[in-house]
Amino acid sequence: MSLNGYISRVRNSVFLRNVSTLAAGTVLSQLIIFGASPFLTRIYSPVDFGVLALFTSVSMLAAILSTGRYELAIGLPEQDDEAINVVALTVLNSFIMALFYVLLILVLRQSSWSVLQSSSLLHQPVIFLVPVYTFMTAAFSSQTYWNQRRKSYKEISTSLVTQAVVATAINIILGLIGLSAWGLIAGLLMGQLGANLFLLVKMIRENSFRGVKAARIKEVAIRFVNFPKFMTFSGVLLTTSQQVVPIIFSFLFNAVVVGFFSLANRMLRVPNIVLTTSIGNVFRNDAIDSIRDKGSCDQLFKATLRKLTLLSVPIYLVLWIVSPFLFVIFFGKDWESSGYFARIICIMLALDFIATPLSTLFNVIGRQKAYMRLQLCNTVIGVGALWAGAKFFNDAYMSISLFTLSNCVFSLVSIYITYQYSKEQYKI
């Protein structure tokens, strides 16, 4: 297909146009981060990246608990006046939980438990920034789902670019003056703040909060109670399966190994971040429309599965071949170990690229409990795989290899189950 033909097809396809709009901002933001990475790896050490990875992993887990997963329900109400109260509920929950996390940190820092005493993050002052970042992450997620509901894909893309520009600029400036891991974490926080403010200003200008009332917040909390009941736990399990490696590695190995893995994971997830989130958001909205019109979404599912497969296989096949060489060229000889970690996780990420967008169907059709069970199995087996690699082989590469194998099995099972669900009849 010629370039003109592809452009014409995008213009005529609402699905492709929406995906392209969302992906454009994600692509540009990731290009900014990717382009800055060779410079950042030369002013920050593997230990600094290890601390950043541990900070991010803990914060992501805390953010899932903060919202009660109510943000996933923002797209479901037919009326915006009801949906905006779901947004308010999510942000309120996040603020209350952020205050709770501050108290929890104070208690844990006084604990004599040996596991906590050995934590490389808990006893650093930077731990008190976790509640702040957690709240900002939850608020941004809520605003993003609101803008997805209103199909404001351009604004979402712009917020992602804003986040990347601010974060990268802060990283470079603070790295040059020698603030080590603090510079990376400060950039993370300021980037998230910039993205939040951009979307918040838009919502204020549109007077989006006019329908927020305490009574209606209570009503939507009760109506969508299945999300905190089932999706919070499954969300924690999903995030744990994605973020558990830095946490486990910090206990099994050391911060240097965490840093090597974190860079590999950060770079290799770029295709997933760029495309799967955008496709998943559009697929979820289109699945809701399809079920409302026809009762099922099997045709949409198969079409999306085909597109995802055609995208995933070539991307990750090339990365599997060239990763060790690319990491040395772009990030320096000191980061060669990251290239070998990258080669291992390519297989896992190729299947994750396909399974993640399609898994949004669990939320659309109210099968949160089934997804929670899948995530529980995946997380338990994944943690066991990491431990087995360290216990029996004393090798970080073997730990990641076993972890990759368990995640591949989970992705295949998830794809099969969601396909079976897509053929059934539902009412929304």
DSSP string, 101-125: HHHHHHHHHT---HHHHT-TTTTSG
Neighbouring C-beta atoms of residue 394, cutoff 10 Å: 11
CA distance 72 to 280: 12
Report the pLDDT value the prediction gives residue 6, as an integer from 0 to 100.
43
Torsion 264-61-273-404 (CA) sign: positive
Show pLDDT as tens, one digit a residue, over the chain (428 residues).
Answer: 443 554 555 555 666 677 677 778 878 888 898 889 999 999 999 889 988 988 998 898 888 889 888 998 998 888 889 999 999 999 999 999 999 999 999 888 887 665 555 556 777 788 899 999 999 999 999 999 999 888 888 899 999 999 999 999 999 999 998 888 889 999 999 999 999 999 999 999 988 898 889 999 999 999 998 888 877 877 777 777 778 888 888 888 888 898 999 899 888 887 777 678 778 878 888 888 888 888 888 899 999 999 999 989 998 999 999 999 999 998 988 899 999 999 999 999 999 999 999 998 988 888 878 887 888 888 889 989 999 999 899 999 999 999 999 999 999 999 999 999 998 887 76
pTM exceeds cut of 0.85? no
Yes or no: say if 346 and 323 are a contact pair by the CB < 8 Å rule: yes
CA distance 424 to 294: 11
C-alpha distances in angstroms, 135 versus 102, 199, 217, 234, 258?
12, 15, 19, 20, 25
Neighbouring C-beta atoms of residue 328, cutoff 10 Å: 15
Yes or no: say if 152 and 75 are a contact pair by the CB < 8 Å rule: no
Q: Give the end-to-end CA distance of the chain in Å, rounded to a whole number.
A: 38
Report the pLDDT value the prediction gives residue 101, as an integer from 0 to 100.
94
Report the pLDDT value the prediction gives residue 115, as an integer from 0 to 100.
56
Torsion 157-259-320-244 (CA) sign: negative
CA distance 362 to 421: 8
Residue 428 in 3-state DSSP?
coil
Question: Which residue type is seen at 31?
Answer: L
CA distance 307 to 318: 18
Question: To which residue do tokens 């009849």 refer?
Answer: 425
Report the pLDDT value the prediction gives residue 8, as an integer from 0 to 100.
58
Yes or no: say if 407 and 348 are a contact pair by the CB < 8 Å rule: yes
Neighbouring C-beta atoms of residue 144, cutoff 10 Å: 22
Torsion 81-86-90-92 (CA) sign: positive
Q: Which residue, among 71, 75, 73, has the nearest Cα to 150 in the 3D structure?
A: 75
Report the pLDDT value the prediction gives residue 193, as an integer from 0 to 100.
96
CA distance 96 to 42: 39
Report the pLDDT value the prediction gives residue 114, as an integer from 0 to 100.
56
Question: Which residue type is seen at 109?
Answer: R
Ranges of H-type helices in 150-294 = 153-176, 181-205, 214-223, 226, 232-252, 255-268, 270-271, 277-294
Q: Which residues contact 85 (CB under 8 A, 6 or more apart)?
A: 211, 212, 213, 216, 217, 219, 220
